[in-house]
Structure 1
């Protein structure tokens, strides 16, 4: 079973960033989007596409800062997580280098910071 890649694109400008399967899946596995939706009344969901206006983009940046700090302070070299459940009630796990997740997460956050600074909404294809 393949991992779901994600993409974020700026409206009005055409800038975009692709998120790898491991980062995309980790954001869901770690409940990032579930917790964000609960706090902000949004409905960002896996396999869906939604638009985020600038205030929501800024809120996503703040939430990503928390995840960045978490990864920076985590004392392990690899992050292992379940990214999918099988029909037989089994699960699929992956182990990803912490630094790899961290650097990609920072690039995603920086992309969103740039979009907000330019006053652009962002389309998230998760």
Structure 2
């Protein structure tokens, strides 16, 4: 697991939050939900774990809307923590991550807000996943 970083390209306003980092747990959670894979399949993008790419400005609003759906799902949960499988060890036993649902919502909301701002500016977003 490692963090993901996002940067709105070409944003000139000094008061605009141009960049965001997701914790390694939140980043891994998006992959466990097949968020980027679903985007790749639907829009012929190539976002892969441990890779860098640029999200076209035409997709930033779509990504924001998709993130909002994930946030709504998290809001509907009753458990205080989110648990998900993120890999396997050398014995092929599942590895799990547990994190606060509230913290995850805050992080994913931050990414959603960044995508909304990029959409308003018609700016691409550099993504280091």
TM above 0.5, yes or no, is yes
Candidates 9, 12, 23, aligned match of 2:10: 12
Partner in structure 1 of residue 50 of structure 2: 47
Cα contact 1:17–1:111 (8 A) shared by 2: yes
Asked if residue 29 in structure 1 is aligned to residue 26 in structure 2, the reply is: no
Candidates 63, 67, 72, aligned match of 2:66: 63
C-alpha RMSD of the superposition: 1.3
Normalized against structure 2, the TM-score is what?
Answer: 0.89
Question: Using the alignment, how far apart are the partners of 1:39 and 1:66 within structure 2?
Answer: 16
Number of matched pairs: 124
The 4+ residue runs of structure 1 with deviation greater than 6 A are: none
Normalized against structure 1, the TM-score is what?
Answer: 0.91
Deviation for aligned residue 1:87: 3.6
Deviation for aligned residue 1:84: 2.1
Partner in structure 2 of residue 110 of structure 1: 113
| Ranges in structure 2 where 5+ consecutive residues have no aligned partner | 13-17
Question: Using the alignment, how far apart are the partners of 1:118 and 1:89 within structure 2?
Answer: 46
